[in-house]
Structures are given as C-alpha cells and as structure tokens.
Structure 1
C-alpha cells in the first residue's frame, strides 16, 4: 500500500484538491480572518463597540470557572463516547462482516441514527428516558427503573448524553470498520487460521494491527466530534442541571450570542481549536506508528 501511494501521490493529491479548497474557504478563512483577530478585541454585539485588548481575553479565561467546568465535562464525556462508540462500532462491523443473511439491511439499520438530525435523536431518547423507561419498569415491577430521575442529577444527565452520543456514532464508525475489514487479504486470514491463530487471538494479533489505518481515521473523527458536541446536550438537557452538562461549544455559543461578548467568545473558540488540534495530532502520531503494511 505504501509503494502504491508513493507511485500515485500526485494523482491522489489532485483528487483531494477540490475538497481542500472548499475546506479552506469554509473553515480556515473564517478562522484566521475572523475568529482569531476577534479574540483580541472587546466587542459587544449589542452596542457595536470594539476595543483592542490584546491578550486580556485569554488571561480572563484562566479564572473562568464555568468555561473550565464545561471543558472538564467535554473530556469526561469524550473519553467514554470515543471508547464506547469505537468498541461497539468494531464489534458490529466484525460480526456483520461474516456471511449472514440480510447483513446489508442490518448495517443500514445501524447507520440510520447517524443520518437523522441530532435534535430529533435527542427528542426520541428524552421520550424513552422519561416515558418508556418508567412504563417498562412499572410493567416488570422494577421500581428502581421506574423511579430513576434521568435528568434530575448531574451524574444521570451525563449518563444519558453518553448513551445517546454512542448510539448515534456507532453506525458511521461501523461502516468505516467494515470497509477496513474488507481490505484485509483473505489469504492472510487463512494462513493465520492454518497456523492455529483463531478467535479473540486472531482479532488482537492479526486483524487489529492490520486495521490500524482505519482505527486512526475513526479515532480522529471521534475525538474531533466529541470536543465539538453541541446538539445532543443542548436538546436533551440544555446544559443542566446547574450547568453540569454544558459542553465547551455551548459555553462559547452563550458567551458570544447570548451575552453578546463576541471577542471573549472568540478567544474561547481559539482555545478549543488549539486543544482539538493538539489532541488529534498526538493521536495521529501515536496510531500511525502502530500501522503495519501488508
């Protein structure tokens, strides 16, 4: 694979050029032409007054307890969401890669949550948690299930967001893992089985190392998505109770468009961008070192 890439490198770069130009126009231009310069201003959208304050917005961040609380929430939820969605996505891909009936239909069913609006997904799960779960607990006689306050405490509200986030992300990651599994040469797997490598040992020693390029992609997507989460927490809990489930993106939104402090909100956005960039670069470096050729 490496030699093939080197041979056709210019052709591959040409293929990604249109997407790269579109990304630059839609993402990089606003970031470097708007967000970063705005972060050095004290700018109130209501009054329209602007004043250059240098690094004051960044210094102010160190004493912003709500921002760091939301940052901690992002990290906590992100760890469980990233691990859970990748583990379950791989398990589904592994079993659906076998010769089973209607596996295309089953894959489509698992992928549907990913294409449905996150707000709609949140409303569906709010109904499940607040109506279906208590009703099921009542039918089964499980008082503990019927009386759970899913959104009444910070810990339970966090659990609901983790569950829904994993449920929505599994389908997309499953498709990527499925594509990766199908690129593994059959003769490699047959040779491993002839040598007595089967079951969980085959998965851990043969398939996962050969799937590391796919794992790299899925971890990259999962990490960036976890840090940018907004729709599900906003629709399910609104950041409550007591701001305990407010992600960084929601904190930035409220700062810039509820309190109208665009300059300070931009500074928070820059910190979020730098954090995501640093974490993903470290992840790419670590996982690419484990990639093997075949």
Structure 2
C-alpha cells in the first residue's frame, strides 16, 4: 500500500471513471479506455489558499521513480488507483494501476494506461464486479498493449491477461455474450506463423470458474464457421492465397470440423505442388500454439 494518507480534504473522492459503465460500452462489447477526469477544484476563492500537496508513492521495483496519484475510486471494499510518473502529465509506460483492499497486499499492474469500460458490471457471471486495465508494459513495442481483468470478490483474482500482437494495431479485444448465458466471452486474435504480414484468426476465450478465461473451440462452432467462410479464398487463386488458406483451415478446426477443413483445402489447392507441405505446416502451427492447441484438441 502507498505510505501516508491523502494530503488534502476530499482527496479520497477523486473521481476515477467507472471501470464498468454499461451505457458507455460499444455495441459489440468492445473495450475502450475510460476518460480520466482531472481533480475537481473550486474556482479561485476570494483569498489565496495553498496548493494541496500531491499524494506520492515509491514503487519498490522501480527505484528512483516517484509516482503521484492520478485518479482514485472506491468499488465496494476495493480502492482502485491510477498512479503516474511524477515527471509526466499523463499515464504512460511508467504508469501503475493499483487494486487495494484492507488486509490484502496491493496488486499493481505496470505500464497502466487506463481503466477499460466493460459491457456489464459482472462479465464473469460470478456475481461480483470485474475491472479491466489497459497496459503498455515497459520494454514492449509501443504499438502493443495487454488487457488485464480482475474479479473483485473476497480477494482480487486475475481472470484474464492477454497481450496483443504487434500486427493487431493496439486492439484490445472485445467482450460479447455469444451464447446468452450471462458470462461474457473475450474475443481477440491469435497469432499464427503463416508467411504473411498480419496472420491472425479471431479466437474466443470463455470464462471457466477456477480457471479464468481459456481458449474455446467447438462450443462456439457457429462463430468459427462464419469466420471460416469469410476467410475462404477464391477458388483457383494463383499463386495460392497462403494466408487465406491458413486462416480458413484453422477456423474450421476450431469449429470442430477437421473433415471440412481438409476438403476445402484440397478443393482450393487442387494439384498445387506445395499443397501437401503447406497442410503439414498449418497443423504443426496449431500444435505449437498453446491457445490453438487447447481450443482444437488432439490433431492428427
């Protein structure tokens, strides 16, 4: 916990944007950074008063960097704080998000940029509020972010940590309740090793009590089938649309349709000399990718 208490009246009421305002979610459940308001002070009084001292904090893993309180809010027993580097006007890779509660060690997320809006108070269906943080960790590529989600129950438990790939252009994924069961799925992209500039497939992560968010497969067959159809290359393309074939094949496997994947692949590649090697390469990629191998299961 930071040392000391707020140094001026009302400091414990600094408004932090709600981490879960339903009305501000995008129609598709997308995550968007919440705007961070400045500390509200009254207009200049008739007689001058001293400027309130900043609430400062020294984060032990980063010696020599002083942080000042950027925003704060209470959610039940939990205090949510954003800390910024004292030499910066706003949050950057030296920012911190803190989740604090009496009797518990504070949780810090390094490189915090914002709290993220969620489409519901409780996306996990556990009956408790969830909070999401957008971070840009020190040492990461400037284009890349990570999404952290915590369930604020008896303890604050991290249920999702997902790093975005460089070619996702800073996308943070989206929460959608695909099956209407009250638990929101997290939709993001999985990197694949195809020889092209932006090889990704959309991947569903579902919440499982006790495990958090895990990659999901055939239970969302309708979603994956729709994605596979959208990524199916035009028939007879020359040269082969390697990226399209790669994505289509993986998506049919995610949908639990390996026979369809093979049949469509053969139809589109015909007698192409490189087809057999490409098929083997795609299966090898799925085996080596932890998210895809968990969602797809056993492969030939």
TM range (shorter): under 0.3
Give the TM-score taking structure 2 as reference length.
0.21
| Higher RCO (CA-CA < 8 Å; seq separation 6+) | 1
Structure ranking higher in strand proportion: 2
